[in-house]
Amino acid sequence: MNRKIIVVGSTNMDMVVTTHHIPNPGETVLGGSFFMNPGGKGANQAVAISRLGGDVTFVSKIGNDIFGKQSAKMFDDEGVDIRSIKSEVNCPSGIALITVDEHGENSIVVAPGANASLSESDVEESVSQHPNCAILLVQLEIPIQTVAYSIRFARERNIRVILNPAPVNVNVKPFLDQVDIITPNVTEAEMLSGCSISDLESAEKAAVKIKDFGVEIVVITLGSRGALLLDDDGACHIPAPNVDPVDTTAAGDVFNGALAVAIAEDKNMRDAVTFACKCAAISVTRMGAQSSIPYRNDVLLTYVK
């Protein structure tokens, strides 16, 4: 069974430069290649869901500019339901400036633009049009009050909520008891829990601290080490496939999109996290954000021999 997923989040245009190493403060370095690629955490996750076979509606704001128009066309071409994407006349589209080093690690600065105007009423109008929605996936590149409202509005309608707390904002703590699944990476988990993470044991301690806020399920993504899952059955380490990374820019977004798809297909959490790890591993072998997102057939061909 493949049920409706609604993503509430950001749309950006990513401007990417490759370089030997990410500059230190005050340092100028010569870069390599430059390219522009549609991005934004919400947009990446919506595209990932569609490519991986999910039924997705995207709630977002874009500017009335060339970047916004390109993004809207791209979403439509990808099979994302764009009826809840609105154009903001008085704001430019969001942009992200991304530096990627030779190890595939990245440094990102985001100018939110129209994303900052995504409102509670936008969410209410959009979610109300889908009474059979099963999952709402939201991140933190939009106003925190809109995130809080989205979670509360979904919870009142028995819609399962997945929160990807990125970029991390400790102001989410008061409403974590309304979140079903939270998916921080190591840095985000450390900031939310107050625990330093260096291994699986410390990751589990951080997950327990986060779960104590009232979250039902905690999934800490560990990069090349996979993910740590903590639910009512206890903690479980899900390893990631071994790959040679090229660019990690959208790996977390692919993970979250894949997780939502697997849950919408009624997979259990361990199988869902395993699927998400596999999809994210494929993405880090490719450059760019949305250009790195795999299709369902990519996953099947890679892992089913």
CA distance 252 to 89: 31
Computed over every residue of the chain, the mean pLDDT equals 94
Q: What is the pLDDT of residues 39-89, one digit of tens each?
A: 899 999 999 999 999 999 999 999 999 999 999 999 999 999 999 999 998
Q: Considering only CA atoms, which of 177, 135, 139, 168 is closest in space to residue 154?
A: 135
Q: What is the pLDDT of residues 27-45, one digit of tens each?
A: 999 999 998 888 899 999 9
CA distance 104 to 280: 14
pLDDT of residue 1: 58
Q: Domain range for residue 136?
A: 4-303
Active-site residue identified among 65, 253, 266, 298: 253
Which tokens sit at 143? 């106003």
CA distance 180 to 192: 16
Q: Is the pTM of this model over 0.75?
A: yes
Q: What is the pLDDT of residues 134-170, one digit of tens each?
A: 999 999 999 999 999 999 999 999 999 999 999 999 9
* pLDDT band at residue 103 using 50, 70 and 90 as cut-offs: confident
The CATH number of the domain holding residue 161 is: 3.40.1190.20
Backbone Cα Rg of the chain? 18
Q: What is the pLDDT of residues 177-224, one digit of tens each?
A: 999 999 999 999 999 999 999 999 999 999 999 999 999 999 999 999
pLDDT of residue 304 exceeding 90: no
212 is annotated as an active-site residue: no
Amino acid at 216: E
Cα-Cα-Cα-Cα torsion 185, 191, 196, 200, nearest 10 degrees, comes to: -30
Name the domain count of the chain.
1
pLDDT of residue 235 exceeding 70: yes
Q: What is the pLDDT of residues 265-274, one digit of tens each?
A: 999 999 999 9
